Amino acid sequence: MSRPKWINWAIAAGAGALALTLLLPTSNRPAPEPSAMPDAPHEEHANKQRLKVQDVKATDLLTRMDAKQHLSLMLEKSATMNEAEFGRYVQDLQRTHDHIRSIDVLDSKGTVNKHFAKESGKGSKVEQQKLEHSLNLAKKAVMKRQSFESSSFPLGKEKYFVMGLPSKDGNKAVVALFSQSVLNAVEQHQRKNLRMIPYPREGKFKIESVHPDTLNEVTVKTGHDNANASHFYENEIVIRFRQEPGERDMRIIKSDLRTQSARKLGYTYVFRSEHMNYEQLHSYFERKWNPLYMEPHYMYLTNEAAPEQTDTDVTIPNDILFTDYQWNLPAIETNRGWNITKGKEDVIVAVVDTGVDLNHPDLKGKLLEGYNVVDPKSKPLDDVGHGTHVAGIIGAIVNNSEGVAGMSWYNKVLPVKVLDNSGSGTTYAVAEGIIWAADHGAKVINMSLGNYADAQFLHDAIKYAFDRDIVLIAATGNDNTERPGYPAAYPEVFAVSATDPDMNKASYSNYGDYVDVMAPGTSIASTYPNNQYAALSGTSMASPHVAALAGLIRSLNPDLTNTEVMDLMRQSVIDLGDPGHDKYYGYGQVDVYKALQSASSNSAPLQFWPQHVRQQMDNTMKKYTK
């Protein structure tokens, strides 16, 4: 007599459960020494200062490598285009690349045949002399068929450098002046992203800073103080009623608060008063309306197809910054993982952040339309740089001989702007962005942002997306503290901390029992606004590595649920620190190749057979019990 199918399934489930121990990651690597205790304020500031300088230096190198590529391509174009075509090409290049300030095209005798220029900084007499000296040195070098690259020099408020490059046949050469305004932008960005300054500053937008546990007021004087502070709008409150208020109720509330400002998202309201602070609002709603919950309106800040190859082959893309600067992708076996999958267009990864540079050439064709929560009438354009950098880690075009390589070749990126031009945003905006992404096709949501306050309002939005089978990924924060950061610490969210190139916990990275995995986060090269590239550090940079991995896994095996994807990523790691899970390294650093191998081994990976079988059995039972 043959056995019923459910018995075979049960046997398979048992075999899968027994095999689970064989699939758990092991490591013989010596345990690195973590940054076990928070640094003293002066030590923390000094460490972050060194890291900021490192990021600026790395960005300087990126800008020079990118500049050399543009000049090389320009010389190639000059050999194949007529004069009018070449003129249009250079003018378009300058229009879309504001940092290319002047270009001189020289013939073999050193005569300038073409000059393209836009306004540059007005420096002092000495600075102008330095510029002229650098241009003359460049022209002399290219006439000897040698390349030239000056050191950086100031010209007004910005830094510049001069580069010269001869053609291979020596018949032509180009000498160009490049602005390095991106260096100032990266420096200012990292002062905020790494919490080196009190951010956001007291008094701006009527923001209060409170201790996240007690809600007692605290004063944020230094970047170090951010580890024990959360920020909220002093005259706003978030309310969820036990029963939906009617029109009469809303008229009474608005009259009592003397306001017309009441925003609703789902079942939750945000009220603003011109004459009540948060404590007064809390007392009013508690006394008169007995809501299900009340909480401050918190602010969230940036936490900054080819032929298949054998498994042993490693794909090396031709993106010019990959080999020298993208240490992060080989470190997590991304290249080998591409032999298994490069992603699929229908698996969408949302970037809930500051928006994205929608015109960046290294993101062309990878971005969906997206949404701007801050200004719904406008496109989700990035006016900070953070979101563009995050998007590039996930989806910068691979193998286009330009810039950097993203982790996914084909997954689309959905930009959702929830943070404004200060790099901060409200609970309401972040929650609305999550829900919008969930309703518009996202399979994975990356949140490189956070706050130390546990906001039920935000948690409701997280649950909304999680219940729709979305994988939610978030950065833990950059204060080297064990204090849980949100949304990363919510149980529905996959929490990511950062490692450095030596696979140690990055000195700035938060830690704690809620951390799931680590990913590279130090001096990560990626896309930056205005068609540029920059190196940034932070758990903000670690999180999108894991979001991209989740997108690759869901591209390869769409049958996996969000919890199965998260479990797979936890178990397919390079184990660091103490064996198994620990508070400094989570389960370990993600391993793209190992995770994709596990995802592709069956219709569901072996370690998920019990729940996968139950799901099949439930589906079968539903068919016969309708």
Which are the catalytic amino acids? 353, 386, 540
Cα-trace Rg, the chain:
27
8-state DSSP, 494 = E
Residues contacting residue 39 through CB under 8 Å, at least 6 positions apart:
47, 480, 507
Q: Which CA distances in Å does 178 have to 67, 93, 126, 357, 480?
A: 8, 13, 18, 20, 37
Structural contact between residues 113 and 87, judged by C-beta atoms closer than 8 angstroms: no
The structure tokens 């001189």 sit at 104
Residues contacting residue 151 through CB under 8 Å, at least 6 positions apart:
161
Helices (H), 81-180: 83-96, 125-143
Question: CA-to-CA distance for 369 and 489, rounded, in angstroms?
Answer: 30
Question: CA-to-CA distance for 403 and 76, rounded, in angstroms?
Answer: 18
The structure tokens 């140690």 sit at 504
The structure tokens 């070098």 sit at 141
Question: CA-to-CA distance for 400 and 319, rounded, in angstroms?
Answer: 6
Question: CA-to-CA distance for 599 and 126, rounded, in angstroms?
Answer: 62
SS3 566: helix
Which candidate, 269, 83, 103, 92, places its Cα nearest to that of 175? 103
Q: What is the largest CA-CA distance in the chain?
A: 98
8-state DSSP, 96 = H
The residues facing 532 across adjacent strands are: 528
CA dihedral (453, 459, 461, 467) in degrees, to 10, reads: 150
Structural contact between residues 464 and 438, judged by C-beta atoms closer than 8 angstroms: yes
Exposed, middle or buried: residue 255 (CB in 10 Å: 0-12, 13-18, 19+)?
exposed
Q: Which CA distances in Å does 415 have to 65, 232, 328, 419?
A: 28, 25, 23, 12
Q: Please state at what angle helix 278-288 crosses helix 247-257, rounded to 10 degrees.
A: 140
